[in-house]
Amino acid sequence: MFRGSYIFCMVLISVMVLGLLFGSSESDEDTKVRAALFPELKFKRNGISQIEISKIEISGALDDVRDEVGDEVGEGAGEGAGAGNAAADNAAEIKVTLLRQDGQWKVQERIDALADAAKINRFVAALVKANKLERKTFTPEYFYRVGVDDQAIGVKLEGQATIWIGATAKNRFGRYVRMIEGGESVVWLISSELTELSTDPADWLQGGQALR
């Protein structure tokens, strides 16, 4: 009798432990979903029909160029992203606009020439699959240390706010981005390096089109 009760208790405890483990697994998955960079696009990326990629290019002499880089910064901060207090003679926005019309991607700045759909799909997938890994604390004057200052490349997906793409992380996988959350700029390390990132319309043309 005692042996039977003991076995029953052990089985019950095992079932409860398995239940807790299963429950925590679901909780972890929920956390991953909430940490997505664009959670609302997780199952809607095929509905995106417009992408804008832009940056501010400065020409002229820089009064103060960064001479110190944060330890966490790797390559890919973008041209001019290291200037802390930069003075320039001229500043201009360089932008490429990718539009999907009648099932085809086109480059607006090249008179709606056909775009490289495979490249665009890879780029969108990388953004949609990216997760926020770690929030970084930076005041705006130090954004340049991870390449997310005003000269960073901005990416705007249809229906979303612009995010600014900074440097790749040093000694770990990922890239820094800046986005607006709760009315303030927040810097995140995300789980993607976003290697296909260019503001040159020619880089997005379908192969064989020599339109510049």
- Residue 120 host element (H or E): helix 117-129
Specify the pTM: 0.69
- From the list 179, 129, 183, the residue with the least C-alpha distance to 156 is 179
Residue 119 gets the label, from left (phi > 0), alpha (psi -120 to 50) or beta, of alpha
Please calculate the CA angle 164-168-171 and round it to the nearest 5 degrees. 150
Task: Write out the chain's pLDDT in tens, 212 residues.
Answer: 445 555 544 544 554 444 433 333 333 332 333 478 888 877 777 789 999 999 988 765 444 444 444 455 555 554 444 444 444 557 788 999 999 999 999 999 999 899 999 999 999 999 988 999 999 877 899 899 999 998 899 999 988 889 999 999 988 889 999 999 888 899 999 999 898 889 999 999 998 565 44
